[in-house]
Amino acid sequence: MFLKVQLNWNVVIPAENLDIKGLMLQKAILVRLLDDFSAKKATKDLGYLLAVTTLDKIGEGKVREHTGDVLFPVKFTCLTFKLFRGEVIEGVVHKILKHGVFMRCGPIENLYLSDQKVNDYQYQIAENPCFLNVKTGSRIEKDVTMRCCKFYHVVIGVKYMEAQKEFQAVVGLEGHYLGPV
């Protein structure tokens, strides 16, 4: 789910980047904010940080004693992406294993669908392994064909990995209109 969030951060501008003209200072603050924003990647509470949408306020700078750098409090609005348990999402298969498949959904690389959650599908060993539904003929396979590579899932559980700054989730196909598109 996409969220619009307002955040307050501190941006530190090195002394050598300071200029008498205010326009250059605003540019330096914005560039530094965007660098810090992209380096953060994700947080447990907000999910993946996608984009700064507006720079709402730049506070008065405070000089740091030892370095001469200036710290500016900044208020901005941004767009984030976070999964929630029970949410219906769309993912693209990127890896097929005997015990399940891994998918991508936006910035999330590790959505796992266990073979236990695809009751009507059976694993097929082949040059391109897949899960096949014998009744309907539909396949869950690596993004080879457009009709099979995307499908909807219900999020069963979500875990934030602090060291990697990313989320992992377990998904299922239980419910109406869930499965290959």
Which tens digit of pLDDT belongs to each residue from 87-118? 878 888 999 999 999 988 889 888 888 888 87
Mean pLDDT of 32-57: 94
Residue-wise burial string across 125-162, b where 16 or more C-beta atoms lie within 10 A, e elsewhere: eeeeebbbbeeeebbbbbeeeeebbebbbbbbebebee
In the numeric block, which tokens belong to residue 11?
A: 């941006």
The pTM score is 0.79
Question: For position 151, what pLDDT does the model report?
Answer: 53
CA distance 29 to 71: 10
Alpha-helical (H) ranges within 65-161 are 146-149
Provide the CATH number for the domain formed by 2-81 in this structure.
3.30.1490.120
pLDDT tens-digit map of 121-180:
899 998 889 998 888 888 888 874 323 334 556 788 889 998 888 988 888 776 554 556
What fold is seen in the domain 88-172? OB fold (Dihydrolipoamide Acetyltransferase, E2P) (2.40.50)
Question: For position 27, what pLDDT does the model report?
Answer: 84
Inter-residue contact 168 to 156 (CB < 8 Å):
no
Question: For position 146, what pLDDT does the model report?
Answer: 29
Sort strands 108-114 and 166-172 into parallel, antiparallel or unpaired: parallel
Q: Phi first, then psi: what are they for 15, rounded to 5°?
A: -55, -35
- Where are the chain's structural domains? 2-81, 88-172
Q: H or E segment at 22?
A: helix 22-40
**In sequence order, what are the residues at sequence separation of 6 or more whose Cβ sits closer than 8 angstroms to the Cβ of residue 38?**
49
